[in-house]
Amino acid sequence: MTIDHPVALAPADRAVRLLGGDLTEKALRLHLDGLAGVDAVGLEARAADLATRSIKTSSKAWALDTIIRTCDLTTLEGADTPGKVRSLVAKAVMPDPSDPSCPRVAAVCVYGDMVPYAVEALGAHHGDPEKGLVSVAAVATAFPSGRASLAIKLADTREAVAAGADEIDMVIDRGAFLSGRYGLVFDQIVAVKEACRRADGSYAHLKVILETGELQTYDNVRRASWLAILAGADFIKTSTGKVSPAATLPVTLLMLEVIRDWHRLTGETIGMKPAGGIRASKDAVRYLVTVAETVGEQWLTPHLWRFGASSLVNDVLLQRQKMTTGHYSGPDYVTVD
């Protein structure tokens, strides 16, 4: 691949620290291309091995609560309405009306134009999930395809932040990534991060969606993870949920390995969010095991770990009820949202 004249990239603290002050696309490319490869067979074997952990009794109870506490309850439909969002928020605040001890979810995740309704519906419950409150996450940057001009992506982001979104779930430009324009992808993430800045100087949390189903190879996923972290991502996220395959255990394991390596290198903690396709408690527990055994169980907190899911919570509630009552109920004993 030919390299154009060195193009200076937008300043990003992490990248400058790692790659040097005169941050160029060439330096970025050399770094990403120099990463160790991923052996697909070995990665999948390790994920399969982690999936054999048997989580029972007290460990299972803790795991089920943790899944709820770290869930981004999501609705991302063309048919979303204020009513639908209010219903989702009610569920987020009280997932199981039959059991007040059930924890709240971490956040509701909606399209940008639905943020005002979510904020309004949450009212006093709106806030930091580490304090038992519920955040509002908005997808932005021409989600899910990301095929729009940068100006539109930034406007999309600013509007959601201004409306009260605590977290922005952006998509990377996969087309640019796959055609080798790493600098473009990088610059856009840096710009979106800047658009997350609020009037008071604080930032909405930025989750960067790689859409791993479109990147296809594990080597690409590893490069894109590094790229997103270097550009300033607070979280890296697997998928939009609109492309199949969405989150898989091997892809999540691989991204967690990058997060672990970044932590080893810099001491900084980056969050991880698998999204899409995780519907059963049993699968979700496997993700928790993978987190705990890869980056450590201190990651299993809403500031560093999220599930992006719409139907997962109800399955977890059924399992949770089973653990308390000793028998399985049915879908009519959990609420539709």
Partner 1 sequence: MSFLEYAPAPESTAILNLRETYGLFIDGEFVDGRGEPFATISPATEKRIAEVATANAADVDRAVAAARRAYDRTWSTMSGADRGKYLFRIARLIQERSRELAVAESLDNGKPIKETRDVDIPLVAAWFFYYAGWADKLEYAGLGANPRALGVAAQVIPWNFPLLMLAWKIAPALAAGNTVVLKPAETTPLTALLFAEICQQADLPAGVVNIITGAGETGRALVSHDDVDKVAFTGSTPVGREIARAAAGTGKKLTLELGGKGANIVFEDAAMDQAVEGIVSGIFFNQGHVCCAGSRLLVQENVHDEVVDRLKTRLSTLRLGDPLDKNTDIGAINSREQLDRIRALSDIGEQEGGDRWTAACEIPSSGYWFAPTIFTNVSTSHRIARDEIFGPVLSVLTFRTPEEAVAKANNTPYGLSAGIWTEKASRMLALADRLRVGVVWANTFNKFDPASPFGGYKESGYGREGGRHGLAAYLEASGWQPPAASAGASTRSVRGRSAQKTRKAVSK
- Nearer residue to partner 1 within complex by CB, 59 or 87: 59
Does residue 199 belong to the site contacting partner 1 (CB under 8 A)?
no
Q: Which of 2, 58, 101, 202 binds partner 1 (CB under 8 A)?
A: 58
- Which among 316, 319, 304, 235 has a CA at the least distance from the CA of 68? 316
169 catalytic? Reply is yes
- How far apart (Å, rounded) are the C-alpha atoms in residues 240 and 194? 22
Residues 206-265 contacting partner 1, CB under 8 A: 257
Largest CA distance in the chain: 67
Catalytic annotation, pick one of 26, 153, 193, 273:
273
Question: Which of the ranges 5-13, 58-66, 169-177, 225-233 carries the binding residues for partner 1, by CB under 8 A?
Answer: 58-66
Q: Is 56 in the site for partner 1 (CB under 8 A)?
A: yes
Tell me, yes or no, if 237 is annotated catalytic. yes
- CB of residue 1 vs partner 1: minimum separation in angstroms? 18
Report the C-alpha gap between 239 and 81 in whole angstroms: 23
User: Within the chain, where are the H helices?
Assistant: 13-19, 25-33, 40-50, 57-69, 82-93, 115-122, 150-162, 174-178, 182-195, 212-215, 218-231, 249-266, 281-294, 312-325
> Can you tell me which of 18, 28, 32, 63 binds partner 1, judged by CB under 8 A?
63
218-231 and 249-266 helices cross at what angle (nearest 10)?
40
The DSSP 8-state label assigned to residue 128 in this structure reads: -
- Span of 21-29, 45-53, 150-158, 206-214 interacting with partner 1 by CB under 8 A: 45-53
User: In this complex, which beta carbon is closest to partner 1, that of residue 15 or of residue 258?
Assistant: 258
Cis peptide before 6 (omega within 30 of 0): no
Q: Is 56 among the catalytic positions?
A: no
Is residue 36 near partner 1 by the rule CB under 8 A? yes
71 binds partner 1 (CB under 8 A): no
Q: Which is nearer to partner 1, 52 or 244 (CB)?
A: 52
Size of the residue set binding partner 1 (CB under 8 A): 27
Is 188 within 8 Å of 173 (Cβ atoms)?
Answer: yes
* 3-state DSSP assignment of residue 133: coil
Q: Does 98 bind partner 1 (CB under 8 A)?
A: no
**From 300, 304, 316, 317, residue interacting with partner 1 (rule: CB under 8 A):** 300
Q: Which residues are known to be catalytic?
A: 169, 237, 273
